[in-house]
Amino acid sequence: MSLQLLSSLTTTAVGGPAGRYIEARTEAEAVAAVRAADAAGDGLLIVAGGSNLVVADAGYPGTVLRIASTGIREHDGNGAVLLTVQAGHPWDEVVAHAVGHGLSGLEALSGIPGSTGATPVQNVGAYGADVSHTLESVRTWDRAEGTVKTFTNAELGFGYRDSILKRSTTNGSPRYVVLTVTFRLQAGTLSAPVAYAELARALGIAPGERAEAAAVRREVLRLRAGKGMVLDPADRDTFSTGSFFTNPVVPTAVAAALPDDAPIYPAGEGLVKLSAAWLIDRSGFGKGFGLPGSAGERLAGGRASLSTKHTLAITNRGGATAADILAVARAVRAGVTERFGIELHNEPLLIDCAL
């Protein structure tokens, strides 16, 4: 246990001190730490890769538990291969393991920062795939019942960047602490069908076709790096939580009022999904937008600004505070509401702070 700044545990590099800091290197250590915090009636923030959290500058007064358990186990799944992964295992290593071992299904999710245990929390997704497509089950510690509880895929209530795990989390404190995640993968070097048009184009195939999983991984990593969506200490555009806003899902009638070139995707009966990046850009917030009020000396855009590569990430250019990040987010959200009457919602969890 030692005094720890949340800014050193999060990819946006903002956030004040933890009241108490514990790192769990095994599942047993994680459960013991959770039980001790709960028995003491202490607030408990779970952090793994810190890539989907914005923590207040005042910090978090309770216990911050970093889940750092690692390990990947392959086992038989009746015609498929099951991969059971410890919660703290870095996610991209799992994708690399699968592709390297001739297992397909995860390749489109290459390069997403953070831990495996966090992937079911917001049903992590990219390039037309999300973890709900391959996830078999999640083993958790249920803090309310004081017992281990396993969820099947169907029981997790997955939605767009959503699951029962997220819905039962308050201020970064989950009812269910993920211990292991099991994926059902197919043996073979061909990828799952590539749904995303930009990725299919890059691979020289039609949407819905398959390619070599290794080629899909390579292209995804290349496309993501070009957008600052793979962590890189040398690239300030990656000091973010990735997309700060989710793509709004709205009734079809709302979308009908948008300009003709607005990207619109079907999202179920009577609903469509809009592009948050397009809405932000068309509301006058271009790449690199920052606020003079938060300006340090370094950049005209301020200590915090939209990524210089796309409009969806809010980035720490150096020396930004959580207040700077949130000020940019508020300005963007208000501008989109004013221009289009559509409210954007944050994707990262905001801990002890709000928009």
Ligand X SMILES: Cc1cc2nc3c(=O)[nH]c(=O)nc-3n(C[C@H](O)[C@H](O)[C@H](O)COP(=O)(O)OP(=O)(O)OC[C@H]3O[C@@H](n4cnc5c(N)ncnc54)[C@H](O)[C@@H]3O)c2cc1C
Q: Which one of residues 15, 242, 290, 301 is an interface residue with ligand X (CB under 6 A)?
A: 242
Nearest approach, Cβ of 47 to ligand X (angstroms)? Answer: 4
**Any catalytic annotation for residue 198?**
no
Q: Which of residues 54-113 bind ligand X (CB under 6 A)?
A: 67, 87, 112-113
Burial 221-231 (b: 16+ CB within 10 A, else e): bebbbeebbbb
**Catalytic annotation present for 243:** yes
Nearer to ligand X, 118 or 185 (CB): 118
Among 15, 43, 50, 335, binds ligand X (CB under 6 A): 50
Which CB, 138 or 211, lies closer to ligand X?
138
Q: Which is nearer to ligand X, 126 or 156 (CB)?
A: 126
- Select from 4, 110, 119, 307 the one that contacts ligand X (CB under 6 A): 119
Smallest separation (angstroms) from ligand X to the CB of 2: 18
Residue tagged 């019942």 (tokens): 145
Q: According to the 3-state scheme, what is the secondary structure of the chain?
A: CCCCEHHHCCCCCCCCEEEEEEEECCHHHHHHHHHHHHHCCCCEEEECCCCCEEECCCCEEEEEEEECCCCEEEEECCCCEEEEEECCCEHHHHHHHHHHCCEECCHHHCCCCCECCCCCCCCCEECCEEHHHCEEEEEEEECCCCEEEEEECHHHCCECCECHHHHCEECCEECEEEEEEEEEEEECCECCCCCCHHHHHHHCCCCCCCCEHHHHHHHHHHHHHHCCCCCCCCCHHHCCCCCCECCCEEEHHHHHCCCCCCCEEECCCCEEEECHHHHHHHCCCCCCCECHHHCCCCCCCCCEEECCCCCCCEEECCCCCHHHHHHHHHHHHHHHHHHHCCCCCECCEEECCCC
Question: Nearest approach, Cβ of 91 to ligand X (angstroms)?
Answer: 6
Site string for ligand X, 195-234 (x = CB under 6 A): ----------------------------------x-x---
How far apart are CB 196 and ligand X at their closest, in Å? 11
Q: Is 46 in the site for ligand X (CB under 6 A)?
A: yes
Catalytic residue among 69, 163, 243, 305: 243
Q: In the numeric block, which tokens belong to residue 234? A: 């040398």
Does 301 bind ligand X (CB under 6 A)? Our answer is: no
Residue 120 makes contact with ligand X by CB under 6 A: no
Kindly indicate which of the ranges 186-194, 237-245, 252-260, 319-327 contains the residues binding ligand X, using the contact rule CB under 6 A: 237-245
Between 314 and 353, how does the x/- string for binding to ligand X read (CB under 6 A)? -----------------------------------x----
- Among 74, 136, 212, 347, which one carries the catalytic annotation? 347
Please tell me whether residue 15 binds ligand X under the rule CB under 6 A: no
175 is catalytic: no
| Residues 131-190 close enough to bind ligand X by CB under 6 A | 169, 172, 174, 177-178
- Active-site positions read 161, 243, 347
Residue numbers at the binding site for ligand X (CB under 6 A)? 11, 46-53, 67, 87, 112-115, 117-119, 121-122, 124-126, 169, 172, 174, 177-178, 229, 231, 238, 240-242, 349
